[in-house]
Amino acid sequence: MKLSDITNVLSFAAFRPDPDDSSCMWRKRFRNKQTLLLNFSKEVVSWRSVSKDGVLGEENSIAGSVKEVVQDMSEDWLDLTDGGWCAVSINHRFVISLETNLTRKNGVSELIRTNPKAVLGSKSERGKRYALKHNDESNSSILLAVDEDYIKEIETLFKSSGLKIGRICCGIYGMLSESLDQISEAQKDYNENVSEPLGDVILITCCEGSVCILKSDQEKWIELRSRNSLYTQKDMEPLRKIIAPIVEALGSNAQIVLSADETVEGISQMLSELAPNARINDMSDSYGLWNLLKNK
């Protein structure tokens, strides 16, 4: 054993995650260091800094292509970090789908990143990066696929600008996954304390103009619709059109759960008009996406 190894153990350095250890929580990887959180959608890039104390800064955004924005803002972003470390959320050029009967062997979440064909078989496509979330109560799974070229473009742009990507993810998929975990816990509590069967649950997740809608019957996922860059604050009609067919026939025992990265003006009213008999649980939080990036 080297002297440096002994020193690391004695100082607890051996137990501290390296900055590029993506398996560890972001704020633990960068204790007492400034970092930057970014979100890329089709036409807008938004960001928040994270202070040495883990406090989120003000949200900023700028319209433009990924290449233009990174080249124009890289120096400013470097000034907001210690060492150029960033966590990047992608909300463009992705597909989220509902699949059945995918393998559930141990280590599948890691395997799909390194050898997706071993998990997806003929459903695997070249040029895609994948993530997977299983439903513990049924044979269904939610599959995320992101264009690998788009990820590589961002990685190359950051590297050439002196910025380092410590984590890259799909923001709306992360929000969807987090909301499902919360719903699962709520369903367990409901089943333990209420004898009446739980009705349909519609989870609507919105992030920077993209949307994912998941319909559940009891604890089974039965329908999913997802769209990239579908709507804007000025034009919510595309969002109404994709939501309407799923929620219009909901009964009084049904529940709509809304999770948005920021309060989208008018969406709660829209849901009330489309599904007057359903209960609406609005979990939207302007810090939702950013806290997810910081705390995961």
The mean pLDDT of the chain is 88
pLDDT tens-place string over residues 102-150: 999 888 988 999 999 999 999 999 999 999 999 988 999 999 999 999 9
pLDDT of residue 2: 46
Comparing 42-46, 247-251, 262-266, the range with the smallest average pLDDT is 262-266
- Cα-Cα-Cα-Cα torsion 262, 266, 270, 271, nearest 10 degrees, comes to 40
Non-local (6+) Cβ contacts of 166 within 8 A are: 19, 20, 22, 26, 29, 30, 35, 85, 86, 87
State the pLDDT confidence band at 152, using cuts at 50, 70 and 90: very high
Answer yes or no: is pLDDT of 7 > 90: no
Q: Does 19 score more than 80 pLDDT?
A: no
Kindly list the domain boundaries of the chain, sorted by start residue: 3-91+149-170, 95-147, 172-295
Kindly report the number of other CB atoms within 10 A of residue 89's CB atom.
27
Whether the per-residue pLDDT at 17 is higher than 90: the answer is no
Q: Does the pTM of the predicted model rise above 0.75?
A: yes
Write down the pLDDT at residue 22: 60
Burial of 31 (0-12, 13-18, 19+ CB in 10 A): exposed
| Per-residue confidence (pLDDT) for residue 119, from 0 to 100 | 94
CATH second-level architecture of 3-91+149-170?
A: 2-Layer Sandwich (3.30)
Q: Are 3-91+149-170 and 172-295 in the same CATH fold?
A: yes
Confidence of residue 242 (pLDDT cuts 50, 70, 90): very high
User: Nearest CA to 95 among 138, 141, 45, 129?
Assistant: 129
List the structure tokens of 126: 């070249």
Residue 179 has pLDDT above 70, yes or no: yes
SS3 category, 100: strand
The CATH T-level fold of domain 172-295 is Nucleotidyltransferase; domain 5 (3.30.420)
- pLDDT for the residue numbered 16: 42
DSSP string, 44-83: EEEEEEE-TTS-B---EEEES-HHHHHHHHHHHHHHTSSS
* pLDDT, position 1: 44
Closest C-alpha among 40, 17, 43 to residue 166: 17
Structure tokens that stand for 63 in this block? 């319209």
